[in-house]
Structure formats: C-alpha cells, structure tokens
Copies of this chain bind each other. A is one copy, B any other.
Amino acid sequence: MSYLGVGVSPGKHHVRESDLKALDRKVKIAELILRAAVCGLALIAALLVATDTQVKEIFTIRKRAKFTDMKSMVMLVVVNGIVAAYSLVHTFRCVVSMLRGSVLFNKPLAWLIFSGDQVMAYMIVVAIGASAQSAAYAKLGEPQVEWMKVCDMYAKFCNQVGEGIASSVFACASMIIVSAISAFSLFRLYDGNKAW
C-alpha cells in the first residue's frame, strides 16, 4: 500500500507536514471517486434486478417471473438502494468538504461516518451472499433436496439478475475500500506514536 512509502519507518515519527498533506489530498480524492462509484454501481444493481421480468407460456398458462418471487432478490434491491442513497449523501459531503477545504477534525463525526460505512459494507456483503446463493440454486438446482433449476426456463431473467449481482459485487468492493478509508480517517486522530 502506498501509505507504507511515505517515509515513516518504525521509530521515526517525524514526517514532513507537506508529505502528509499530499497523502491526505490523495486519500480524499480516492474517497470521493469510490463513493461516487459505489452510488452508481449500487443503483445499477438495484435497477437491473428490480426491472427484470420475463413471461413464459407453459401450455396455456402465462407465468411472469419477477424479482419479488425470491426474497433474497428483494433484499438485494433494498440493500443496494439504501447503499446508493447513503453513498450519494456522502459523495456530496466529500465534494463540499473538498470545496471548502475543511478537514475532518471532529471525532464524533468521524465515528459516525466510520460506523455508517461499516454497516453499509457488511450489509451489502450479506445481501450478496444470500442472493448469490439463491442464484446458484436457481442456476444449478440442489438435487439432494429436490430443488429444481429454474434458470432453464427463465434464461433471460436469470442473466439479468446475474448482471445485477455482478454490479453489486463491484459496488461492494468499492464500499469495503471506502470503509477502510473512513477507518483510516478516524483512527489516525488517535495519536498512536505518543502512546509508545
């Protein structure tokens, strides 16, 4: 990681201020880009799954597949929607903070952002776990318990759900990095060097 290379070696704690300011700026830009990416990707994921539908005629019966047929898909849509809205708010916060040039001095606010990011990251991970598992059953079936494949019948529907999950995975990866950045922004306020 690039943080390792800012010239801080164990035992030497006096880093030039300009180095840290440059690092700080890079971290802020990375955070802004990642938050915007999370917002876009989570929104795409939610829309892809929520708008997905396929009608199949079996003899004379019309059956329409939609995301509400599976609770895990509903959860995926809801969680991605929440993460997108949350990320939108924080993208604006990042922009405002960069324009104003203000700094995160405030420990309670840093704790709030850190906690929010952690909740979002774990929430999207658990939603992906559940929906990927459902998708695997739908695609492959689980013969031991006689759950049949349903993707053979609804191929187009399943593909679009797959795209939604993929988009959600990228949103999740970005969210995990964002949550590490907010951990960095919070815990660096606790001066570790003085404690040793």
A residues at B contact (CB < 8 Å): 1, 3-4, 8, 10-11, 13, 15, 17, 20-21, 23-24, 69-72, 103, 105-108, 111, 118, 121-122, 125-134, 136-138, 142, 144-148, 150, 176, 180, 183-196
A176, closest chain B residue (CB): B122
Q: Which residue of B lies closest to A10 (CB)?
A: B105
B180 with A111: CB separation less than 8 A: no
Q: Find chain B residues with CB under 8 A from A24 CB.
A: 195
Complex contact B194–A15 (CB within 8 A): yes
In the complex formed, the residue of B with least CB distance to A68 is B144
This protein's copies in its complex? 2
B107, B133, B148: the one contacting A130 at CB < 8 Å is B133
CB pair A193–B183 under 8 Å, yes or no, is: no
A29 → B minimal CB distance (Å)? 15
Closest B residue to A111 using CB positions: B1
CB neighbours of A72 from chain B (8 A): 133
A106 to B9: give the CA distance in the assembly, Å. 8
- 5 CB-based A-B contacts, threshold 8 Å: A118-B180, A137-B147, A187-B188, A188-B188, A191-B192
Q: Which residues of B lie under 8 Å from residue A127 when comparing CB positions?
A: 129
